[in-house]
Amino acid sequence: MISEAMQRMTENNSVIRAMFEEGKQMAARYGAENVYDFSLGNPNIAPPAAVTEAAIDILRHEDPMLVHGYMSNAGYEEVRRAVAGSLNRRFGTAYGPQELLMTVGAAGGLNVVLKVLLNSGDEVVVFAPYFVEYNNYIANYGGVTVVIPPDTASFQPDLAALERAVTPRTRAVLINTPNNPTGVIYSAETLAALAGVLRRKSAEFGAPVYLLSDEPYRELAYDGAEVPWVPSFYDNTLVCYSWSKSLSLPGERIGYLLMPDSLDGAEQIQQAAAIAGRILGFVNAPSLMQRVAARCVDEQTDLAAYARNRALLYDGLTALGFSCVYPAGAFYLFMKTPEDESTFVARAKKHRLLLVPGSSFACPGYVRIAYCVSPDTIRRSMAAFRALAEEVGL
Ligand code: PLP
């Protein structure tokens, strides 16, 4: 009844989404306060007041035909100008509106860029652990995902493995920093070395290998940690950004794709991206949210609240004997499982702890714990984690 491709995708449907649904059922059965749902990266912090105020003000005072009408497929020019201005102030760049396409979140931006770049059979290299929806996005355009195994010592990209993985079939390398699921920020040294590999390979094969930087967590970096600006290392970088996490707006579906003029074939890519968004059926990014984002480009979420959650969880779990990657950014903790991963995930569920298996990120032997939840949930969950630790003999 449905296509073979969709049949495969339905069978491999996201474990994270399935858990989220299971969590809702468990909450109905046991009471929400007795279920510790750490499955989904759905921010628990309300958007900044400025977001609500901007939306109301725009709806009340701006010309409704301009707020709700069709516009250029790339998005409102003044919105793209505002985004470019913010990037230029922060990263010392000189981007203009023609280098930006407003997108339906990071997922929309990734689909647009993959649609633009991939011929059937082209390879996209990713570093485990990675956001596994990438597989679907790449498959949408006949691409092939090439997975580089994790370097579990540092969770930085394994560049020796990249050197071996990039072939004449490689069209792009896709990275995500700060990283989901580890919270690791890729260092400037790593990015410089990565750029070196890609420059060498592009020259060797006589065709650019594009670097796609998926950055929904850029603003979530703790203790003043710097998230290096990826395009400054490599001219053929495209950035997929989203306000889903940074302004707690995942349901609003708003982000942008940056396609710098420094790209090989920049003009063609910029034009194709606007068409890709349209023919994929998004047409343009949500118009009201574009206008809101333009007014809120320099707004911040309550990072201190996530930092407190991080401390509560990391300190609590390590005190119980669990071993965790210390997250410098995003809002996930990646914890080593003291026994076989699926046994551990099932055991945790009995304690009403919903943890996402690391194999969902191509990194078995770990679980991801999303700490964008109320601090109270973390505090109350500690008794369940303690019981779990005792059961596995920590
Ligand atoms: N990329 C990564 C690494 C993510 O974690 C997510 C969402 O969790 C996305 C992309 C999709 O973001 P958006 O909701 O903006 O489409």
**Is residue 11's pLDDT more than 90?**
no
Q: What average pLDDT does this structure show over 361-383?
A: 97
Which atom of ligand 1 is least distant from the CA of 179? 3
Closest ligand 1 atom to the C-alpha of 242? 15
CA of 206 to the centre of ligand 1 (A): 32
Question: What local confidence, expressed as pLDDT, does residue 18 receive?
Answer: 78
Pocket flag, ligand 1, residue 242 (CB < 6 Å): yes
204 vs 146: CA distance, rounded Å: 20
- Domain boundary (253, 269, 295) is at 295
Q: What is the pLDDT of residues 266-275, one digit of tens each?
A: 999 999 999 9
Asked if pLDDT for residue 349 goes beyond 80, the answer is yes
Return the pLDDT at 152.
97
For ligand 1, whether the C-beta of 176 sits within 6 Å is: yes
Q: Are residues 250 and 318 in the same domain?
A: no
The reported pLDDT for the residue numbered 24 is 86
Domain finish residue from 295, 326, 360: 295
Claim to verify: residue 57 and residue 183 sit in the same structural domain = yes
Residue recorded with tokens 């910029």: 270
Q: Report CA Rg, the chain.
A: 21
Please state, for a pLDDT cut of 70, what percent of the chain lies above it: 100
Boundary of a domain, candidates 295, 321, 336 = 295
pLDDT at 16 > cutoff 90: no
Ligand 1 centre distance from Cα of residue 205 (Å): 31
Mark whether 263 and 341 lie in a shared domain: no
Strands 237-242, 255-258: pairing is antiparallel
Q: Are residues 97 and 24 in the same domain?
A: no
- Is 233 found in the same domain as 93? yes
Q: Does residue 359 sit in the same domain as residue 344?
A: yes
Compute, in angstroms, the gap from residue 23 CA to the centroid of ligand 1.
20
The answer on 326 and 215 residing in a single domain is: no
Q: Are residues 148 and 85 in the same domain?
A: yes
- Please give the pLDDT value at position 60: 97
For ligand 1, the distance from its centroid to the CA atom of residue 106, given in whole angstroms, is 5
- In the chain, DSSP assigns E strands to 36-37, 100-103, 123-127, 144-148, 170-176, 210-214, 237-242, 255-258, 324-325, 332-336, 353-354, 356-357, 366-370
Higher per-residue confidence, 104 vs 14? 104
Ligand 1, atom nearest to 105 Cα: 15
Q: Check residue 235 and give its pLDDT.
A: 98
- Ligand 1 pocket mutation pick from 14, 17, 38, 131 by most atoms within 8 angstroms of CB: 131
Section 88-93 average pLDDT: 98
Please check whether residues 332 and 275 belong to one and the same domain: no
**Ligand 1 contact, 105 CB (< 6 A):** yes
User: Rounded to whole angstroms, what are the CA distances from 34 to 10, 26, 28, 74, 382?
Assistant: 30, 9, 10, 45, 12
What CATH number does the domain containing 237 carry?
A: 3.40.640.10
pLDDT at 32 over 90: no
Gap from CA of 107 to ligand 1 centroid (Å): 6
Residues 98 and 224 in one domain: yes
pLDDT at 23: 85
Residue with tokens 């195994």: 149
**What's the number of domains the chain is made of?**
2
- Contacts of 35 by beta carbon, 8 Å cutoff, 6+ apart: 23, 26, 27, 352, 354
Mark whether 263 and 132 lie in a shared domain.
Answer: yes
How much is the pLDDT for 347? 97
Does ligand 1 come within 6 angstroms of the Cβ of 250? Answer: yes
Residue 349 structural domain: 4-47+301-391
pLDDT for the residue 363: 98
Cα 61 to ligand 1 centre (Å):
32
- The C-alpha atoms of residue 41 and residue 60 are separated, in whole angstroms, by 32
Torsions phi, psi for 311 (to 5 deg): -65, -45
Q: What are phi and psi of 117, to 5 degrees?
A: -95, -30
251 and 352 in one domain? no
Ligand 1 pocket residue status of 215, Cβ below 6 Å: no
SS3 319: helix
Q: Strand, helix or coil at 213?
A: strand
**How far is 307 from 371, CA to CA, in rounded Å?**
10
Q: How much is the average pLDDT of 171-198?
A: 98
Tell me the pLDDT band of 255, cut-offs 50, 70 and 90: very high
Whether the CB of 129 sits within 6 Å of ligand 1: no
Q: Name the one residue in this structure whose structure tokens are 């920093």.
A: 177
- pLDDT at site 353: 97
> Given pLDDT bands bounded at 50, 70 and 90, which one contains residue 386?
very high
Write down the pTM of the prediction. Answer: 0.97
Nearest CA residue ID for atom 8, ligand 1 = 41
What pLDDT, in 10s, does the model give residues 304-334? Answer: 999 999 999 999 999 999 999 999 999 999 9
User: Given a cut of 80, is residue 391 above it in pLDDT?
Assistant: yes
Q: 346: buried, middle or exposed (CB in 10 Å: 19+, 13-18, 0-12)?
A: exposed
**181 CB less than 6 Å from ligand 1?**
no
Could you read off the pLDDT of 112-135 as tens digits, one per residue? 999 999 999 999 999 999 999 999
Q: What is the CATH number of the domain that holds 310?
A: 3.90.1150.10
